Amino acid sequence: MNADKKVKILATLGPAIRDAAHIRQLVEAGVNLFRLNFSHGEHADHAQRYQWVREVERELNQPIGILMDLQGPKLRVGRFAEGKVQLVNGQSLRLDLDKTPGDANRVNLPHPEIIEALQPGMSLLLDDGRLRLKVTAKQADAVDTCVIAGGELSDRKGVNVPEAVLQLSPLTEKDRRDLTFGLELGVDWVALSFVQRPEDIVEARELIQGKAFLMAKIEKPSAVIHLEEIAKLCDAIMVARGDLGVEVPAENVPRIQKDIVRTCRQLGRPVVVATQMLESMRFSPAPTRAEVTDVANAVAEGADAVMLSAETASGDYPLETVQMMSKIIRQVENGPDYQTQLDVGRPQAEATASDAISCAIRRISSILPVAALVNYSESGASSLRASRERPKAPILSLTPSLTTARRLTVAWGIYSVVNERLRKVEEVTSTALEIAQAQGMAQRGETVVITAGEPFGQPGSTNSLRIEALH
């Protein structure tokens, strides 16, 4: 088991990854879980990639998580009679429900939800924020706007509405079909796009019905406002900096990212930092210095995982990109102040036996030269609480559930082994020491901390801690 880094890597699969052998290379280079992006590709493509991952999982005998990322609503303007227009600062532009091809004075906006939500004074962003409009008047079926930042606008360009909450489900009909397919396939995680409010998480939960874990993508200003409520309702959070960086001023994104990471750590929810982390490596074998610093900062802030998108899905250097990201993570984690920074941001413990033990193992691993923290967990909850403390030693999570092991692939510092033999509490110590040694996480003479619970195998019962030397 390659447990030499604590921050995990989530890599997106796409046409650049052509077979199971390629996926195995990525796993051996440091990938812990893979993303299937349902904004692109056919179901057959995703099914093939899913099978490749499961094949590698069996070959390496280590759990690998698979996340399906739903596209969500795509808000776009209609078409123009000549394919495009040039908008000039200060001019008027009407957006309406008329499907007739547009011109420089008006264009179809086929989303009545947007027109309903807009009010005079609000901003509209077009084409990934390159053009900016301000609403000057509103009718039942149209809004009049003034062009604040003009430029070329062509057919079907995207629309962002940062200042309004739209009465729109995050799940389109396409998303519902994709979700049914993904759950039948057996994905471990579902990433929900276009989250605006806590009710969106409840709606998705009802559709998923416990068949996968739910990750909310924070990419809307309203989701930032309701972050804590949303995080409590889901299993993990993704800082989706692409759309987020369009809908809020770019200079606010670093602060929001820090706030999200801090909130998720306090709540014990894994958090993934995503979008353009090593973007230049799509076409270059080396990243920019700014990109290296971006990844390093996410690691230093305490993120559970960092994500690669087009870099591995369609880039020219997917393997080199993963290798570079692994190097950056290890470099930061091995720095003299990494653990100190994590300790400074340590969250407040809750008054539970599990948190008391989690705090204890963090403290023990800072005093003793502990090689590994071994935790037995059916549901993974106690392993996640231990991860929340960001201990100095890696966490070896022993579980009889492959589902649990795959869930934990996104969490900081946790490496899981599925072991069906653990059915009696007296087996925990001997099995923990045996597996820690077999996985290369502890050697003879080294110290291992073991946690478990009685009644044995009952979720939420972690109440014992042992310090053992490997003989």
Per this entry, what is the length of the chain?
471
Homologous superfamily assigned to 8-73+170-336: Phosphoenolpyruvate-binding domains (3.20.20.60)
- C-alpha to C-alpha distances, 180 to 48, 68, 195, 209, 431, nearest whole angstrom: 17, 11, 19, 11, 39
Task: State which CATH number among 3.40.1380.20, 3.90.950.10, 1.10.10.10, 3.40.50.1820 fits the domain covering 348-469.
Answer: 3.40.1380.20
Coil, strand or helix at 30? coil
The crossing angle, in degrees rounded to 10, of helices 289-301 and 253-267 is: 30
Tens of pLDDT along 404-447? 999 999 999 999 999 876 566 667 888 889 999 999 999 999 99
Q: What average pLDDT does the chain have? A: 94
**pLDDT value, residue 345:** 86
Q: If pLDDT is split at 50, 70 and 90, which confidence band does 463 have?
A: confident
Coil, strand or helix at 352? coil
Distance from C-alpha of 110 to C-alpha of 107, rounded to nearest angstrom = 10
Does residue 37 register a pLDDT over 60? Answer: yes
Homologous superfamily assigned to 84-160: PK beta-barrel domain-like (2.40.33.10)
Extract the tokens encoding 100: 């007739």
Average pLDDT of span 93-112: 97
Q: If pLDDT is split at 50, 70 and 90, which confidence band does 218 have?
A: very high
Instruction: Return the amino acid letter for 391.
Output: P
* Active-site pick, 5, 8, 217, 390: 217
Rounded percentage of the chain residues whose pLDDT exceeds 90: 89
Determine the straight-line distance between the first and last CA of the chain, rounded to whole angstroms.
21
Domain boundaries, the chain: 8-73+170-336, 84-160, 348-469
* Active-site pick, 35, 132, 157, 390: 35
pTM value?
Answer: 0.95
Same CATH topology for 8-73+170-336 and 348-469? no
Are 395 and 373 in contact, with CB atoms under 8 Å apart? yes
* Active-site pick, 76, 130, 258, 346: 76
**pLDDT value, residue 279:** 98
**pLDDT value, residue 422:** 59
Distance from C-alpha of 133 to C-alpha of 149, rounded to nearest angstrom = 7
Helix (H) or strand (E) holding 133: strand 131-138
Tens of pLDDT along 108-161? 999 999 999 999 999 999 999 999 999 999 999 999 999 999 999 999 999 999
**pLDDT value, residue 377:** 87
Distance from C-alpha of 239 to C-alpha of 244, rounded to nearest angstrom = 8
**pLDDT value, residue 453:** 72
- 217 as an active site residue: the answer is yes
